């Protein structure tokens, strides 16, 4: 099965390579003890990120030059229990977050948002979690591109995914009819 690496601007988007307690090429907030590499649950590669312990934290990757008049897509594959926001960084340190999505599923879910930034801006992604639940929350893959994550790839993973959820400008849409709860 081909993995959609070529359209993804992120480095280490499947969280395969780690050093100093974090996925390589990713900046992490708070204690790195909250971020664990696990092979228990994986969607795109051999590993995923397990968020251990409650509280707000984030993973980010920035510094990508983007074109104007081009729509970009930010997303993350998640499963487990917790709350998550996808942040879009652009310009000089500005981060815009979509709705908080309440994740409560044993199936992988795609949470995705899009935006058309200003030409020449630098952009990036921030994955912010609020994992207050006692259950585990996993991040399996991240996406930042001027192409949507390929749905043929997702369809190949359909048995593992269960739900494919997309948030665009605060509106939750679904691929297969299941809607997650969002918080405003």
Residue 57 forms part of a structural domain: yes
Q: How far apart are CA 54 and CA 42, in angstroms?
A: 21
What CATH number corresponds to the domain at position 57? 2.60.120.260
pLDDT of amino acid 51: 82
State how far the alpha carbon of 181 is from the alpha carbons of 56, 111, 133, 162, 171, in Å: 19, 12, 15, 16, 11
Give me the residue label for tokens 């058309």. Answer: 116
Residue 75 forms part of a structural domain: yes
pTM metric for this prediction: 0.79
Residue 12 forms part of a structural domain: no
- Number of domains the chain contains: 1
Element (H, E) at 61: strand 56-65
3-state secondary structure (DSSP) of residue 6: coil
153-156 contact pairs (CB < 8 A, 24+): 153/1, 153/2, 153/3, 153/4, 154/110, 156/1
Residue 5 forms part of a structural domain: no
Are residues 168 and 115 in contact, defined by beta-carbon separation less than 8 angstroms?
A: no
Residue 6 forms part of a structural domain: no
Domain containing residue 36: 18-183
Residue 114 forms part of a structural domain: yes
Residue 13 forms part of a structural domain: no
Residue 10 forms part of a structural domain: no
**Local mean pLDDT, 10-residue blocks, the chain (184 residues):** 71 92 86 75 87 77 85 86 82 74 80 76 84 75 86 66 49 40 40
In sequence order, what E strands does 91-164 have?
94-97, 100-115, 122-130, 137-145
């Amino acid at each position: 099965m081909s993995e959609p690496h070529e359209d993804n601007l992120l480095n280490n988007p499947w969280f395969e390579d780690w050093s100093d307690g974090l996925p390589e090429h990713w900046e992490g907030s708070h204690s790195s003890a909250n971020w664990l590499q696990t092979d228990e649950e994986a969607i795109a590669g051999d590993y995923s990120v397990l968020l251990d312990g409650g509280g707000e934290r984030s993973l980010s990757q920035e510094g990508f030059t983007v074109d104007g008049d081009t729509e970009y897509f930010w997303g993350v594959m998640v499963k487990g229990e917790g709350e998550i926001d996808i942040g879009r960084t652009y310009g000089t340190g500005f981060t815009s977050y979509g709705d908080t999505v309440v994740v409560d599923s044993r199936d992988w879910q795609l949470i995705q948002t899009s935006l058309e930034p200003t030409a020449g801006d630098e952009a990036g992604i921030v994955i912010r979690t609020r994992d207050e639940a006692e259950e585990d929350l996993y991040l399996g893959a991240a996406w930042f591109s001027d192409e949507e994550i390929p749905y043929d790839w997702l369809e190949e993973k359909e048995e593992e995914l269960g739900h494919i959820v997309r948030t665009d400008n605060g509106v939750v849409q679904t691929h297969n009819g299941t809607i997650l709860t969002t918080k405003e």
